Structure 1
Amino acid sequence: MRRVDGDTAVSTTHLNLADIQGNVVRAYGRFGFPCARYYFLRVDPQQSADGRALVDRVRRRITTAVRWREGPNETAPGAVEPPDSTLNIAFTFYGLLALGLPTSVLARMPPEFIEGMPGRTYILGDEGDNAPEHWDPIWRTNAEKRIGSGQTAADGELGHVHIWLSINARSMEQMEAAHETLMADIAAHPGLRLLPGHGADGADYQAASAIFAPGPDDTLVPTGKEHFGFTDGIGDPVFDGRYEPDVQARRVKGRGRLTPATEQQPDQQWVPLATGEFLLGHADESQELPPTAPPWEFTRNGTFMVFRKLHQNVKTFHDYTAEQAALFGRLWGLEAEAALATLKAKLVGRWSDGIPLIAAPTYDDWRRLQSQWRDVPAIGLKPRTERTPAEQARKDAFDDLLANFTFGDDKDGIKCPYGAHLRRVNTRDMLDPELHGDNPEARTGSSLNKRRRILRRGLPYGHADPDNPSDDGEHGVIFIALCASLSRQFEFLQQQWIQYGLDFNTGNDTCPLVGNHRLDDRRPATKHVIAADPAGDAPPFIAANLPNFVTTRGGDYFFLPGINALRMIAQGSVDPT
């Protein structure tokens, strides 16, 4: 429940944080845990007791959402010291089946979760370069078992990946300590198998890490960059109960939803999204409880997770943007550096440091804003505990600049192109049916966007040399999304807004950054149109024949249970009656 007092959205939702896994409320990489490893296990269906025993063994160490004495909620009552490393767990549908959960429970799980990602390739755009035959061995095997052989559950191999475990750590030393403990847990249960096949070297786990940069005293500190050079992970949604009220009031701007305009309150306000958009057992934006499998306690405080490994073709991105920038610069009268930076920003919707095009539409605007905030990058490289109050206030104000904006003042896509990645993945007020009307009081705010939000987790993986870019090798982004409905949230966004263009008046053009531009040789590659200011002399620019900058390397859908549900799984007490 929420109410709005003046300009402040006040939370009245009190979550049982000890029953929620911690990665639901925290993107660990932004909380001082830049190193990650993801492990995938298979449970021998004939030894399901071993699988449940592992769940029982690790559930006591699972990191919960209880407030930490570090980060935005550090002054919350009952806050605890953060750990040296985190541990979280999730299951595929066939993992739950292998653990012995009743079919009467599993049959009530959402159909898209039951089918899994390999069964949804036609929706996700996983064709052509993204097709399962190009995935990593672990996921390629998984896809073959799920969609390619006509096997039945009696084969004992269906649903190859069963359990996902993740560790995030402050340092590699702490990572190794947590790794050794987890390996001992797995080794103690012979009915479990740690699955290899991640990347070309077939590693036993998928490693990921923030990209580091030189900080104070020549130390290396984590950044929010990905391999194309852009700051990522800025607009993570704020839902009711995620933050303490004072923190929520600050962070909700640009990260929640816009209220409809009314005669009494013509100025639209940012309020948190309903908890049920991300956590099962809570009311969502339709004021309903999302459908769940019985018993009620099994799904409450759980959520669904998308794990998706995305390879970045770094050389292709650099070569294509350099080639197009030469044409773009001549057409718009821009110097080489300005043309390249502007073209990339028009593809993404933000400049490389995260400043949105809405706030700085031109290269000169961006440079002026950079000069105003030139102290912030150095502040951001400092650990939060070492920042002065004044420095933290500057950092918070800059974060507000990055997130707190709408598209209402850019109805024609002159500042930020209609098809830009940013406009597609979070449409804000762009699809308000009254946005182009003459009556601002009739605007509905985020009414067509508030049911499509996802929580972004995950980190970059691998190394890409910016001075010698390559498409080969292991580098990209581990994309992790959390949501209450895989179909209504993640799949809708991926299909309707990433792979299609009709909602953005761009026809069949896919997202210029992460869309699948080449499904097969018979269909031409898509394009990206950069609109020009009608008051100027430059014509629109068409970035044609887009190559695939990002390709899928595998993944699946998982259920991330609450802590009480983990106890039920471990004890074999998931009774639907």
Structure 2
Amino acid sequence: MKSPPRKPATSRTPWGDHFDHVQRIVLCTPKQLGVQHLLLKFNGKGSPARRFLRKLSKDVTYTSRARDPDSDPQLSVGFTYRGLEALGLPCHVQLVLQKLAPSFHLGAPVQAATRLGDTGSSAPDRWDSDFQLEALHAVISLHYKDDACAAKLVERVRGLAGEFDVRVAEKPLRGENFTHGKTEERWVHFGYRDGLSKVGIRGWSDDPNRTGTLLPVSMHNPGEFLLGHPDDGGANPWALAAQPQAVRSFFCEASFGVLRQMEQDEPAFRGYLEEQAKRIVKGSGGAIKEASAIELVRAKLCGRFRDGQRIHPETQEPVGEPEGDFNYESDAKGEGCPFGAHVRRMNPRGGEIAHQRRHRPLLRRGAPYGRTWEEDKSADAERGLLGLFFCSSIENQFEHLLGEWADRVPMGNLDEGRAKDPLASHHEDPDANFVLPGDAMKRVGVTEFKGLKPFVRTRGTAYLLYPTSDGLEQLATEDHGHLWVDEVDREAFE
């Protein structure tokens, strides 16, 4: 098919149709609770891989279906750099990626140790084999409500894979968002409520009534997530003015995704809560009961109570309703939410940090996997998080959050601690202290936690590009690369 690629849209109006060709997973949080990630390798490179993609692309879900949140199942597809090579991405387009997206070009296994803090048991050479550099070309993600519908689509994908010499990992990565009772609130392992933090995108939202209520620190330009738009600082490195129009079209409004499997050690985490809670009970002379102390320790490590309520700086009790958007103006000294707590590290919300104050927003589409602690307390139970994140710069957003904000010590000029992110980092130093500012903690004689353990282990990470429908068409087109150079450029080259 040789139809000319779509030209980048110029007008940007809320809920217009200019994003109708963006894969839905990028801009819309899936309503479905179940997810499966299928890891693929194109053994038949070139034409067989492109023909596989052409047939598969008919099932991909775009934002034009965002007004139908019950569409089931939802299919998304992202490619590693080596996957794009296998599909025959022209060399001049590969050079654009090498220059503007070096981490994507090199691949997560190459970057992880130095850029993500993945060392020791989380080192890339200990990742699951399907995440190894030359083993992974693409990831197909299915979000679904109905198991039978999902199974039918998986069967179709495996059938196409067999037809076009594509290897599909034998065991898909399965996750499921779990809820408590009859509520629709989503929870994750370690006992925390999920999905509270909100990100607003100027000119787009999966809830048009929501954007006006967000604080400025939570509203971002589309260029933070979609290529070819200005980011919050006004920069647009993906404008690609000197490139052929077909190349600009391929990248316009595509997004980089990161799939990251994190194993979570619930027994170690629960044991640590109890250990620190006993110190609080003892320091309070029994005034604080063990159950309450456990909840306080859990809240301090995360930065909020398990249901999402914030920590009152003076009373240390839950305050207000769980909020998706707030800042730290009322807790500038970290007496409620410590500076080193997980949520304050991952989203400083305009607060003071130790380096550039540029925001590093991510669109989060993750889901837990494995049985909950209440269902299975055995030490060998497999459980964790299948994180899926979207951004326009893996280096400046995802890698900065993990490699700098999660691992940096101290976190900000006011932080006196030496511990890394308590929930997401790999702790090597048992004497690194997690500081608990405030008079309330001084009164119980517990002003810091030590002995943090690595409660998580990285099982694998993939850096992916999620093209638009136009980009997928370009990748799947059998025309020996002519589509990638327009007529004007051909004359210039001649």
TM-score interval (norm. to shorter): 0.7 to 0.9
How far is 1:410 from its partner? Answer: 1.2
Decide whether aligned partners of structure 1 residues 508 and 107 sit closer, same or farther in structure 2, where only a CA change above 3 A counts. farther
Question: 3-state SS of the aligned residue for 1:166?
Answer: strand
1:136 shift after superposition? 1.9
Which of 87, 90, 94 is equivalent to 2:75?
Answer: 87
TM-score (norm 1): 0.74
Where does the alignment leave 5 or more consecutive residues of structure 1 unmatched? 1-9, 72-81, 147-158, 197-202, 216-220, 259-269, 370-397, 434-446
Q: Which residue of 1 aligns with 2:351?
A: 430
RMSD: 2.6
Letter in 2 for 1:51: A
Are positions 1:126 and 2:126 aligned together?
Answer: no
Q: Evaluate the alpha carbon distance shift between residue 171 and residue 12 of structure 1 in structure 2; reply closer, same or farther with a 3 A threshold.
A: closer
Aligned identity (percent) is 26
2:437 to 531, 548, 564: 531
AA partner of residue 175 (structure 2): A
The answer to whether 1:310 aligns with 2:310 is no
How does 1:410-489 map onto structure 2 within 5 Å?
A: 410-431=331-352, 448-450=357-359, 452-466=360-374, 468-489=376-397
Corresponding residue to 2:103 among 79, 94, 112: 112
Structure 2 residue aligned with 1:206: 173
- Residues 1:246 and 1:89: Cα distance change in structure 2 (over 3 Å): closer
Q: Give the alignment's TM-score, normalised by structure 2.
A: 0.86
Distance in structure 2 (CA, Å) of the matches to 1:534 and 1:364: 11
What do the CA deviations read for 1:124-171 (whole angstroms, capped 9, x no partner)? 1100121123322322xx1xxx4xxxxxxxxxxxx2200110111112
- Which of 258, 278, 283 aligns to 1:331? It is 283
Partner deviation per Cα, 1:89-111 (whole Å, 9 max, x = no partner):
01000000011111221122111
Instruction: Please say which of residues 97-106 and 469-478 is displaced more in the overlay.
Output: 469-478
Q: Does 1:249 align with 2:211?
A: yes
1:575 maps to which residue? 484
Deviations 1:39-60 (A, max 9, x none): 111112x532111111111212
- Please point out which of 425, 442, 449 is paired with 1:515: 425
Asked if 1:96 is matched to 2:87, the reply is no
SS in 2 for 1:301: coil
Matched, 1:194 2:168: yes
Give, in whole Å, the separation in 2 of the partners of 1:566 and 1:100.
12
Residue 329 of structure 1: CA displacement? 2.3
In the alignment, the residues of structure 2 paired with residue 273 and residue 192 of structure 1 have an alpha-carbon distance, to the nearest angstrom, of 38
> Comparing 482-491 with 170-179, which one deviates more in the overlay?
170-179
1:63 matched residue in structure 2 = 61
CA contact (8 A) 1:35 1:175 kept: no
Contact (CA 8 Å) 1:532, 1:540: kept in 2 or not? no
Measure how far apart 1:66 and its partner are: 1.8
Out of 339, 342, 350, the residue aligned to residue 304 of structure 2 is: 350
Aligned residue pairs: how many? Answer: 459
Residue 146 of structure 2 aligns with an amino acid whose one-letter code is: S
| One of 125, 129, 146 as aligned partner of 1:137 | 129
User: 1:331 Cα deviation (Å)?
Assistant: 1.9
Summarize the Cα distance change of 1:245–1:62 in structure 2 as closer, same or farther, 3 Å threshold.
Answer: closer
1:288-299 residue pairs with structure 2 within 5 A?
288-291=235-238, 294=243, 295-299=247-251
AA partner of residue 421 (structure 1): H
Looking at structure 2, the residues matched to 19 and 300 of structure 1 have their Cα atoms a distance apart, in angstroms, of 10
Residue 288 of structure 1: CA displacement? 2.3
- Alpha-carbon displacement from aligned partner over 1:309-329 (angstroms, at most 9, x marks no partner): 000000000011111110122
Match for 2:166: what amino acid? L
Residues 267-295 of structure 1, C-alpha deviation per residue, up to 9 Å, x if partnerless?
xxx6x210000000111112121337751
Determine the C-alpha separation between the residues in 1 that align with 2:124 and 2:207: 44
Structure 1 residue 506 displacement after superposition: 4.1
**Residue aligned with 1:482, SS:** strand
SS at match of 1:409: helix
2:430–2:453 CA contact under 8 A, matched in 1: no
Cα distance in structure 1, aligned partners of 2:228 and 2:400: 22
Residues in 1 aligned to 2:433 and 2:370: alpha-carbon distance in whole angstroms: 29
Conservation of the 8 A alpha-carbon contact between 2:198 and 2:324: no
Aligned to 1:174: 149
Offset at residue 502 of structure 1 (A): 3.1
Contact in 2 for aligned 1:27/1:458 (Cα 8 Å): no
Query: Does the CA contact (< 8 Å) of 1:532 and 1:539 recur in 2?
Result: no
Deviation at 1:303? Answer: 0.6
Residue aligned with 1:553, SS: strand
Counterpart in 1 of 2:7? none
Query: Once the 2 structures are TM-superposed, how far is the Cα of residue 406 of structure 1 from its aligned partner?
Result: 0.9
Give 1:498's aligned residue: 406
- Matched with 1:36 is 35
CA offset at residue 14 of structure 1?
4.2
Question: What is the DSSP-based 3-state SS (H/G/I as helix, E as strand, rest coil) of the residue aligned with 2:115?
Answer: helix
- The residue number in structure 1 matching 2:492 is none
Q: Which residue of 1 aligns with 2:21?
A: 19
